[in-house]
């Protein structure tokens, strides 16, 4: 029997996606969606590249997971995302009926928790997994961006 991976393992995969976004000059948010201990979808922010304000990491991952599963519902799936989802992404996650959301760093200003965004009643959410690593990447990105402008 294969031992299950833990939340830290999958959050590291999401952080790898965030690094890809960083290298592309995108706000470094990364996401992976897991079912049965297997990554079925990956995503990172593409808002600048696609000129699309909805091209958040979570949205990319939701679309990829739905395509992989052949349906719009993400029951029995877990989203690992490096930053607490915004209101838009939380709304999409609500409609996907995802079972669980695990995020890294908190977004006190724009995150779904402070904005009291409703998640699906069957969706569990927890945060703080590798939060320091995720926050550090964001800080590094914005310091670099300010210094270039």
Find tokens 């703080």 and name the residue: 128
Is 112 annotated in a binding site? The answer is no
Is 51 annotated in a binding site? The answer is no
Helix, strand, coil distribution of the chain in percent, nearest 5: 40, 20, 40
**Sign of the torsion formed by the C-alpha atoms of 20, 99, 75 and 6:** positive
Cα Rg of the chain, angstroms: 14
- Which residue is catalytic, options 58, 109, 126, 133? 58
Q: Is 58 a catalytic residue?
A: yes
Is 56 annotated in a binding site? The answer is yes
**Contacts of residue 47, Cβ cutoff 8 Å, sequence gap at least 6:** 26, 27, 53, 54, 55, 56
Of the candidates 94, 86, 4, 96, the one whose C-alpha atom is nearest the C-alpha of residue 41 is: 96
Cα gap 127→96, rounded to integer Å: 19
Q: Which residues are catalytic?
A: 58
Q: Which residues are annotated as a binding site for Zn(2+)?
A: 56, 86, 89
């Amino acid at each position: 029997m294969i031992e299950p991976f833990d939340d830290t393992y999958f959050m590291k995969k999401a952080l790898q996606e965030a690094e890809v976004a960083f290298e592309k000059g995108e706000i470094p948010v990364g996401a992976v969606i897991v079912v049965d201990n297997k990554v079925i979808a990956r995503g990172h922010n593409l808002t600048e590249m696609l000129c699309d304000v909805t091209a958040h990491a979570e949205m990319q991952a939701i679309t990829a997971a739905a395509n992989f599963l052949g349906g719009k519902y993400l029951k029995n799936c877990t989203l690992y995302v490096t930053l607490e989802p915004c209101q838009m992404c939380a709304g999409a996650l609500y409609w996907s009926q995802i079972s669980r959301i695990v995020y890294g760093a908190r977004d006190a200003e724009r995150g779904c928790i402070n904005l009291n965004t409703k998640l699906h009643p069957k969706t569990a959410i927890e945060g703080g997994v590798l939060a320091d690593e995720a926050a550090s990447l964001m800080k590094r990105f914005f310091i670099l961006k300010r210094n270039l402008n």
